[in-house]
Structure 1
Amino acid sequence: MIVLIDNYDSFTYNLYQYASVYTDVHVIRNDAVSIEELREMKPDGIILSPGPGRPADAGICIDLIRQLSGQVPILGVCLGHQAIGEAFGGRVVEAPVIMHGKTSMIRQSGQLFDDMTETLEVMRYHSLIVARNDLPTELVITAETDDRTIMALEHRTHPTFGIQFHPESVGTPQGQQMIKRFIELIKE
């Protein structure tokens, strides 16, 4: 079972639809559950949804990452990705270009993208990014745009992944495959 933390985003249920094809998914708002309650649920994995604002506005997400990363596989999407960067000591800053409803081509090299082409089209809805200059050593960049904006991260030693773009959007043609791959990694 996957727990999908809803950061009050209108696309949360698109993620739910993608993931529920492969496994049971339980959606919980970011302020309606404690870390202890999550532990008691014993999820196979956790997805942190997109949402408005900064990681500090994402309810339990930063604490969840700090306490459960390495114990439970985690996938952060957009705001969830930024929360991963911040939870490990990185900085989230304003993007040089605001990307709301725009696609970009990214180059990827991470586990989350196995069996996909090296270059992928993805949909972006964000004005904040994880700063490259302050990237914590525990995190590895696994996808970026031509201007070197970080589009995906993963932890060096355990299954914690962040993607800045939106796999649940029709503008990310291989998005459902990415969600499927996260679920496959959980089962490995």
Structure 2
Amino acid sequence: MTRVLVVDNHDSFVHTIVQYLRELGADCDVRPRDEVRVGDADGFDAVLVSPGPGTPEEAGVSVPLVRHAASRGQPLLGVCLGHQAIAVAYGATVTRAPELVHGRTSAISHDGRGVFAGLPSPVRMTRYHSLAVLPETVPPVLEVTARTGDGLVMGLRHRTAPVEGIQFHPESVLSEHGHRLLGNWLRDVESRISRETV
């Protein structure tokens, strides 16, 4: 069973994400961000950095944890605030989005790889955010994997480490294929574990 450290950035959505992951067979240890140290991740197969209020810089251990996981080759998925933490960890700018969105579904076009494997493009996902990654500041080490129709960054992936971020909420009941997206992530984690144990 895949052991996942879930960093809870004080968000009500985290419990639904954890429910999905458990339905998919993961063993989740949910810890409030104030109680997580970077080294705590070392005992897990993967890390999920949850949504939450505020900015990535205010998200406790989230930004340094992204760098730590990447340096170890440890799979990490950032959702909403966690996605923004990935951007900030590598020098991208997170700023006010053109408009605040709360529970809006948007058509997201994506590259069909990683967490998006096998999902239709565009796929409708639900957004809750007031901040967004400035696309022109995304560094070469990260690639933009998904966007809204008007060009907002909705997905990021590290080019060499198993670190991926999504701005939207796959766990929302209004999101299409959110369960499959999280399942893709867990399958990637499991295949990585299998390769390492051979």
Q: With the length of structure 1 as denominator, give the TM-score of the two structures.
A: 0.96
Can you list the C-alpha shifts for 1:41-91, whole angstroms capped at 9, x where unaligned? x21110000000000111100111112214210000000000000001111
Q: Contact (CA 8 Å) 1:70, 1:160: kept in 2 or not?
A: no
C-alpha displacement of 1:129 = 0.5
Q: Which residue in 2 is equivalent to 1:94?
A: 96
Q: Contact (CA 8 Å) 1:70, 1:159: kept in 2 or not?
A: no
- Consecutive unaligned residues in structure 1, runs of 5 or more: none
Which residue, 155, 163, 183 being the options, matches 2:186?
Answer: 183
| C-alpha distance in structure 1 between counterparts of 2:69 and 2:165, whole Å | 15
Q: Which residue in 1 is equivalent to 2:40?
A: 37
1:31 is paired with a residue whose SS is helix
Q: Which residue in 2 is equivalent to 1:80?
A: 82
Relative distance call for 1:99 and 1:56 in structure 2 (3 A) is same
C-alpha displacement of 1:118 = 1.7
Query: Which structure's residues are more often helix, by fraction?
Result: 2
1:63 is paired with a residue whose SS is helix
Can you list the C-alpha shifts for 1:66-120, whole angstroms capped at 9, x where unaligned? 1221421000000000000000111101111211111100111132111111210
Q: Which residue in 1 is equivalent to 2:194?
A: none
Q: Which residue in 1 is equivalent to 2:70?
A: 69
Which residue, 156, 159, 162 being the options, matches 1:156?
Answer: 159
**Which shifted more, 91-100 or 62-71?**
62-71
| C-alpha distance in structure 1 between counterparts of 2:134 and 2:162, whole Å | 21
**Which shifted more, 59-68 or 73-82?**
59-68
| C-alpha distance in structure 2 between counterparts of 1:7 and 1:113, whole Å | 24
| C-alpha distance in structure 2 between counterparts of 1:77 and 1:64, whole Å | 14
Q: With the length of structure 2 as denominator, give the TM-score of the two structures.
A: 0.91
Amino acid corresponding to residue 10 of structure 1 in structure 2: S
Let me know the Cα RMSD of the aligned residues: 0.9
Amino acid corresponding to residue 131 of structure 1 in structure 2: L
Q: Does 1:138 align with 2:149?
A: no
Q: Does 1:103 align with 2:105?
A: yes
Q: Which residue in 2 is equivalent to 1:4?
A: 6
| C-alpha distance in structure 2 between counterparts of 1:7 and 1:121, whole Å | 25
1:133 is paired with a residue whose SS is helix
| C-alpha distance in structure 2 between counterparts of 1:20 and 1:30, whole Å | 20
Q: Which residue in 2 is equivalent to 1:54?
A: 55
C-alpha displacement of 1:36 = 2.0
Identity %: 39
Amino acid corresponding to residue 45 of structure 1 in structure 2: A
